[in-house]
Amino acid sequence: MRFWTILTLFSLFLASCSDKYQAFRSQYQFKSPNGAPDYANLDYWAAHPRKHDPSDSIPRPLLGESRDTLVDVFFLYPTSFTMKDHGNKMTADIDDDYLNAKTDYSSILYQASVFNQHARVFAPRYRQVHLSTFYIEQNAFTDSLYDIAYADIKNAFQYYLDHWNNGRPFIIAGHSQGSKMAERLLKEMVEGKPLQEKLIAAYVPGWSVPKELFSSLKICSGPSATGCVCSWRTFKNGYLPSWLEKENGNSYATNPLNWTSGADYAPRSANKGAILLKFNKIYKHSTDGKIENGILYVKKPKFPWSFLYRTKNYHPGDINLYYMNVRENVAQRIQAWFAAHTH
């Protein structure tokens, strides 16, 4: 079933073993008095520049790189609430120690860290919906669950703006459920507002960007375009999941190997490095990429033991398969934004 396939994939790409998360639970012994996050309290930020957290981690081969914090990134993590035994609970508790440990030492470590060379990373905890929500018929009930998650994110973004942004340019980024929320945030709080001028770019892989969603926000046209959106969903060549068939190509997509939305093929040689199971190991030329009908199609990725990797859905690797390309592109867009806004 798709549900358990995705769950297995997350374990493969973003974790080494469940015991690892158990070992970190003692770091998360805080309790919300009303079940909601308090964004004045750094416990309710998975990543924040005023504390040390996994987003600060740098793969060992990159320890000598130059670093700065010219901009901010507001990062929304993907679904980590995937447990089979979740009863009837469809919304995660904000103070669940195991879930917070799992989030921080999976997506915050392996995904949010891609931005840390040139940005301060802010990643709010939010009451995410359970993974199974995405595989049931969408209705008023599921919408209400997403509304809870989004309300937390909107409050966190406003708190960030009021207390820490201080007029700095910023990036909005996410993955999967986080990208779904990021798109709504862009639509409601950035597009057509004064904030749009401060948007360097949005990186929202792992979720569709319908062509009618935005008006003034456009898909990024190249590696140095700013004030635009990048998105991609990664699948093996020729594979079209049944749940995507109804899109009929009505979704924008970006190739993270050449940063265009056209159909130009980018070979493995353009892939500057993936970060997979071992955070301190960079796997160069892991896979290629070509956009077709709103999807990023690739050959089977190459990494140790990849011959055992049978799935055609590479969703958990949307960022990790292109870690070094994303990291480099963040610098390109920041440089381009400052060049255009320096008088």
- Give me the residue label for tokens 């990159």: 62
CB 129 within 8 A of CB 141: no
Rg of the chain in Å (alpha carbons): 19
The SS3 call for residue 274 is strand
Q: How do residues 162-190 score in pLDDT, each as one tens digit?
A: 999 999 999 999 999 999 999 999 999 99
Phi, psi of 212 (to 5 degrees): -95, 0
Position 9 pLDDT exceeds 80: no
Neighbouring C-alpha atoms within 13 Å toward the C-beta of 258? 15
Q: Which long-range contacts (C-beta less than 8 Å, at least 24 apart) are formed by 46-50?
A: 46/77, 46/100, 46/103, 46/104, 46/108, 46/112, 46/123, 46/124, 46/125, 47/75, 47/104, 47/108, 47/112, 47/121, 47/122, 47/123, 48/121, 48/122, 48/123, 49/120, 49/121, 49/122, 49/164
Contact 294, 249 (CB under 8 A): yes
Across 22-31, 252-261, 303-312, the highest mean pLDDT is recorded for 252-261
What percentage of the chain has pLDDT greater than the value 70? 94
Average pLDDT over residues 141-145: 93
Pairing of strands 199-203, 170-174: parallel
Tell me if the pTM is above 0.75: yes
pLDDT tens-digit map of 25-70: 888 899 999 999 999 999 999 999 999 999 999 999 999 998 898 9
Q: How far is the C-alpha of 129 from the C-alpha of 123, rounded, in Å?
A: 17
Q: For residue 13, what pLDDT is reported?
A: 45
* pLDDT attached to residue 329: 98
